[in-house]
Amino acid sequence: MNRSTAAVANAFFLFVGVAGLIIQIVSGVPGFPDIPPGPFILGITGILVLTLAARFRPILFLGIVAPAFILVGALLEGSFWGRLADVGDFGPFTGTVLLIGGLIGAIACGGVAVSRAYRRTTVG
């Protein structure tokens, strides 16, 4: 089986989210733990989607659950709104835009990937 375009896009957006988190960490955004779990959660999920989803369809659900988990955490924590409002603070702003955009893109593409993987085909 081949990987679907939606699954590849899902993994891409997961990696965009990882890049956003790394940019935030490197630029000194306060509040990150010494070893933040977000990059590992999103990165490993992206790798699993790319490598296993073609053979094991349930992996595609991880491509929705993992970014949704991180997004809910970000919404509950709430400090990303301030980083989005401060365009002049380039690192935190850019990292936050990449993170939130990556999470939303991953959830959307993950939904499409799951929908296509489980679609029933009708015979004419």
Domain extent, residue 17, equals: 5-26+37-117
Provide the whole-model pTM: 0.93
Q: Is residue 112 part of a domain?
A: yes
Local confidence band at 124 (pLDDT 50, 70, 90 cut-offs): low
Mean predicted confidence (pLDDT) in 63-87:
95
Q: Does some domain include residue 122?
A: no
Give the pLDDT band of residue 123 (cuts 50, 70, 90): low
Q: Which residue has the higher pLDDT, 89 or 123?
A: 89
Give CA angle at 104 (72, 121), nearest 5°: 115
47-56: per-residue pLDDT in tens?
999 999 999 9
Let me know if residue 109 belongs to a domain: yes
- 3-state helix vs strand vs coil in the chain, percent to 5: 75, 0, 25
CA distance 62 to 70: 12
CA gap 75, 80 in Å, rounded: 8
Strands (E), 57-117: none
Number of domains in the chain: 1
Confidence check: pLDDT of 13 > 90? yes
